[in-house]
């Protein structure tokens, strides 16, 4: 059913939910009108004890933008269905992390549909900030908008006789993981990304939803790799890495541009560059900034609860999680929370 929606994304796939959280911890809601699917949402259900309290967590949903259709009352009806099922019937604390950015038309729809929910306050480390590229202009115009230094590096890469291959299979992803492992050993950077977990997700995804894997070779040696998810009318940059042998090849620039060219030819409208953090990761920030996307933040999560016990337990757990993360940062330890790069 995800393939019916322009706002589909990897975080709402069955494969992502099953690998990350386990099938027994998932709940799926489907809204139909006259027998036709018009909206859907996949929740993670968290019950820390056998008692009837806990949280229903919705990441980058719900989905309501049916391909080729004018949006009707689906957002409000989905919001009311979520209230009825998870708030009233199950007595859970409901937390929704919307797939919408501040001041976008989609954010206004969310704010209207979930007006009976509270907007949660966030600490800076929990805010998803990214560069979002509008891919509707021509490829020539997009290239002219690139930062001058970024464009020069791309031109250098194009002269280096590099070869780029694209795949969605196990072999391509295994090649990417080899490159990623080299980069991690070289940099020993802090990360919450688990590339192996994304590999298991890739295996579980249906063919139409599998992630794209681009590998760039320099004289037959893998120089760099890139993993992106393309669903609906948008794409998300998930993982990228450069091998030891590819440090001087500028392959990362060619990979990004090759992906953008591919997305354009497939009619994809927007490209999310996968999150930025200028303070903790300035190098990646400046690389992504060179693509001249819009610096934008996700809207605040929505939250609601009919149960004081569920609300208190969830908020205490979230506070504990933030404290745990903060305690690891000064030590240079990578938290094993296994959250993808777009978290």
- For the chain, the domain total comes to 2
User: Which stretches of 59-163 are DSSP H helices?
Assistant: 74-82, 105-113, 139-145, 148-158
- What CATH number should be reported for the domain holding residue 30? 3.40.630.30
CA nearest neighbour of 125 among 297, 291, 316, 305: 297
User: CB neighbours (10 Å) of residue 196?
Assistant: 13
* Inside any domain, residue 63: yes
Distance CA 9, CA 97 (A): 13
Confidence of residue 325 (pLDDT cuts 50, 70, 90): low
Q: What is the mean pLDDT of residues 198-216?
A: 96
CB 267 within 8 A of CB 231: no
Domain co-membership, 110 together with 148: no
Separation of CA 225 from chain center = 18
Confidence of residue 47 (pLDDT cuts 50, 70, 90): confident
Domain co-membership, 317 together with 234: no
Domain co-membership, 9 together with 157: no
What's the pLDDT score for residue 306? 82
CB 202 within 8 A of CB 173: yes
Distance CA 95, CA 117 (A): 9
Domain co-membership, 291 together with 304: no
Q: In whole numbers, what is the pLDDT of the chain averaged over residues?
A: 89
For residue 182, which phi and psi values (nearest 5 degrees)? -60, -45
Domain co-membership, 243 together with 272: yes
Which residue is listed with tokens 């009108």? 33
Longest dimension (CA), the chain: 63
Tokens representing 285 are 């920030």
Distance CA 21, CA 11 (A): 11
Domain co-membership, 220 together with 290: yes
* Inside any domain, residue 337: no
Domain co-membership, 105 together with 160: no
Q: What is the mean pLDDT of residues 20-43?
A: 96
Evaluate if residue 328 carries a pLDDT over 70.
Answer: no
Domain co-membership, 104 together with 182: no
User: CB neighbours (10 Å) of residue 261?
Assistant: 13
Confidence of residue 12 (pLDDT cuts 50, 70, 90): very high
* Inside any domain, residue 342: no
Query: Which element (helix H / strand E) includes 257?
Result: helix 251-265
For residue 214, which phi and psi values (nearest 5 degrees)? -105, 130
* Inside any domain, residue 319: yes
Distance CA 73, CA 69 (A): 12
* Inside any domain, residue 343: no
Domain that holds residue 75: 2-123+299-331
Domain co-membership, 107 together with 191: no
Helix 251-265 and helix 148-158: axis angle, to 10°? 90
What's the pLDDT score for residue 312? 63
């Amino acid at each position: 059913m995800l393939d019916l929606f322009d706002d589909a994304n990897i975080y709402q796939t069955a494969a992502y939910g099953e690998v990350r959280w386990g099938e027994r911890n998932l709940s799926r809601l489907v809204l139909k009108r006259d027998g036709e699917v018009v909206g859907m949402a996949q929740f993670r259900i968290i019950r820390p004890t056998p008692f009837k309290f806990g949280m229903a967590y919705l990441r980058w949903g719900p989905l309501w933008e049916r391909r080729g259709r004018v949006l009707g009352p689906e957002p409000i009806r989905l919001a009311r269905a979520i209230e009825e099922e998870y708030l009233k019937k199950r007595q859970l604390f409901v937390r929704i992390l919307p797939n919408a950015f501040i001041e976008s038309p989609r954010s206004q729809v969310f704010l209207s549909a979930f007006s009976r929910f509270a907007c949660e306050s966030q600490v800076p480390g929990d805010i998803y900030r990214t560069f979002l590229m509008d891919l509707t202009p021509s490829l020539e115009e997009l290239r002219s908008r690139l930062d001058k230094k970024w464009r020069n590096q791309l031109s250098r890469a194009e002269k280096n006789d590099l070869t780029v291959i694209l795949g969605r299979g196990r072999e391509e992803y295994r090649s990417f993981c080899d490159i990623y492992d080299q980069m991690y050993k070289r940099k020993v950077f802090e990360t919450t990304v688990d590339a192996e977990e994304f590999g298991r997700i890739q295996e579980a995804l249906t063919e139409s939803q599998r992630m794209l894997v681009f590998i760039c070779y320099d004289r037959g040696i893998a120089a760099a790799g890139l993993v992106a998810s393309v669903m609906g009318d948008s794409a998300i940059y998930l993982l990228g890495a450069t091998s030891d042998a590819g440090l001087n090849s500028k392959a990362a620039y060619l990979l990004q541009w090759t992906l953008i060219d591919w997305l354009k030819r497939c009619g994809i409208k927007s490209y999310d560059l996968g999150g930025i953090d200028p303070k903790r990761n300035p190098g990646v920030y400046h690389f992504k900034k060179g693509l001249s996307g819009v610096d934008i933040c996700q809207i605040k999560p929505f939250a609601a609860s009919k149960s004081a016990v569920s609300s208190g337990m969830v908020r205490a757990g979230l506070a504990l999680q933030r404290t745990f993360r903060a305690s690891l940062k000064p030590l240079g330890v990578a938290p094993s929370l296994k959250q993808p790069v777009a978290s």
